[in-house]
Amino acid sequence: MIWTHAQKIAASYPEKDRAKYVTAAKTLRIPYWDWASNPDIPRSMTTAKINVNTPTGMQSIDNPLYQYKFDPSVQKGFPEGDSFTSNPHSTRFPDANGESQNDRATRAMRSNGASLRSSIYQLLSSESDYSTFSTQALPDRSGYNNVETVHGYVHGLVGGQGHMTYIPWSSYDPIFWLHHANVDRLIALWQAIYPDSYVAQVPNGGGAYMTERGTMEDGNTPLYPFHADDSTYYTANTARYTKTFGYTYPEIEDWGVSKADLQKNVRRRVNELYNNPSKQAAKRSTVHRRAQRYDSYIQGSNKSQSPSTTESRFEAVLDDAFDMVEAIGDSISQSLDRFDEWGVNNMKKQWVIKIRVNNIHFFMGNPPKDSNTWRYAPNLIGSYGTFVHGMGMPNPSMVCGEVPLSPALAALLSTSTILGLDDTVVVPVLTKFLTWRIQDQDGKVIPTEDVAKSNGGKGLEIRVAKRDVQPLTKGDLDNFPQFGEWDMYDSITKGKVGGY
């Protein structure tokens, strides 16, 4: 429909400009926002007014990508009691007057940019099973990372307490469409790399309007209400490939090539975007005096210092190191440059936090007192949140996810605050300094104890895991790192509320 309107508008330009607009209109597609490459919200989505060369001349108009304005005549159909019902337009991180604070949304995305990139690369490079890759709701799984969780995570980071955070309202924010186009793209990338795994037969645990609870579903189950024609519905199998619908993405040139060549080509593009060895530093910086102090602390060789003195000195060292983490939140160009320089996705050991909970933030040390700043705190390791149905509505499903620890550890490693990623180094640091706090989707702080006690005492499950990695060599873009099995380090979270 949008494409058809574009053709009509292009054809209405004066003759001297008509040809170039008609040509441009024919190439119109839904754009995508690759937040794993650049988490900055595009300026096209945060500028309230734009200048447009219309068929009748240059005009300043309200940017339709900035917000969606609700038609007052249809607002009566929205749920009673929902605070969004009275909103005249969609919002992101709304202030007290119901206006968007896009700067806060951008800060939240920037502060979690390294985590997003790491999560997506791990999925594309190491998860070969479609069910595990695609959904957060599998009861038994070897890995907690999945594209559905990361997708929901971005919804919350962009929305704050605004429309993108809540399922019934999210699609009213124009950024929804750029976000979902990118999720579609990420799934297409994964399918090109792992073409032999797809939808498996599973029971529908929740049911739906057209489907009874417990119904077994597979790749041939109708996808209501999406019609392929007047008499049939699309299924996962008939909607499996983008070429069925006449489109593709820049990284997927799937015509005239073999399956093996397509896999290699897409792996190369994924590495170029999210893990380019040619950009990574040849060696780590030399050991600074702060690292020597840290080493003596870990090894217990600093006999002259009392435990409290040594502890406070180490905390000061961590404060210094997390100046760099604060820079990640303040400068995306620096954070992504450093991400490549550190080779976060190519390190020999990958550390993650494995989670079963609804909405949580992880910190190195204590979080700021102001919970409104938690999403972009300088010592934030990463956040995890589920995509919920509505304001004030509980999400009864226990879902799984991961928050990468490697970017935060790389920040410490880059300043020689820690000397490596081995157990003897990382475990004591995380045991002492890893903390977490929980908020609901409206920003209210929820006591961790209350969440941990829910669901029969299983409402919160935090574990730390590590796996060994055989990194890519410099210049090798055609392959992925080789990943070992996950080892759990439950001693790190044992004794902490919600620890395993």
Instruction: Of 17-26, 163-172, 282-291, 321-330, give the range with the top mean pLDDT.
Output: 17-26
Whether residue 174 lies inside any domain: the answer is: yes
pLDDT in tens, 210-222: 888 889 999 999 9
pLDDT in tens, 309-327: 444 544 554 455 444 433 4
Cα separations in angstroms, 251 against 374, 393, 472: 35, 39, 20
Whether residue 39 lies inside any domain: the answer is: yes
Smallest Cα–Cα separation from 416: which of 284, 256, 231?
284
Whether residue 5 lies inside any domain: the answer is: no
H/E element, 60: strand 57-62
Distance, in Å, from the CA atom of 95 to the CA atom of 104, rounded to the nearest integer, reads 10
Whether residue 233 lies inside any domain: the answer is: no
Distance, in Å, from the CA atom of 280 to the CA atom of 265, rounded to the nearest integer, reads 21
445: domain CATH number is: 1.10.1280
pLDDT at residue 210, rounded to an integer: 85
* Band of pLDDT at residue 294, cut at 50, 70 and 90: very low
Distance, in Å, from the CA atom of 500 to the CA atom of 492, rounded to the nearest integer, reads 9
pLDDT in tens, 368-378: 999 988 988 88
Reading the block at residue 208, the tokens are 């739906």
Smallest Cα–Cα separation from 399: which of 487, 461, 321, 310?
461
Q: What 3-state DSSP class applies to 71? A: coil
Overall average pLDDT of the 191-200 stretch: 97
- Contact criterion met (CB below 8 Å) for 338 and 110: no
Whether residue 20 lies inside any domain: the answer is: no
Whether residue 360 lies inside any domain: the answer is: yes
Q: How many domains does the chain contain in total?
A: 1
* Band of pLDDT at residue 139, cut at 50, 70 and 90: low
Whether residue 10 lies inside any domain: the answer is: no
Find residue 430's DSSP bridge partners.
none
- Does the pLDDT at position 54 exceed 50? yes
Angle at the Cα of 374 (from 373 to 375), degrees rounded to 5?
Answer: 95
Determine the distance from the C-alpha atom of residue 488 to the mean position of all C-alpha atoms in its chain, rounded to a whole number. Answer: 23
Cα separations in angstroms, 309 against 30, 305, 427: 58, 6, 21
Structural domain for 477, as ranges: 31-198+240-500
Whether residue 2 lies inside any domain: the answer is: no
pLDDT in tens, 394-440: 444 556 788 999 988 888 887 777 888 889 989 999 999 999 999 88
pLDDT cut 70: percent of the chain above it: 83
Cα separations in angstroms, 481 against 275, 343, 354, 469: 10, 12, 21, 7
Look at 303 and 286; give whichever has higher pLDDT. Answer: 303
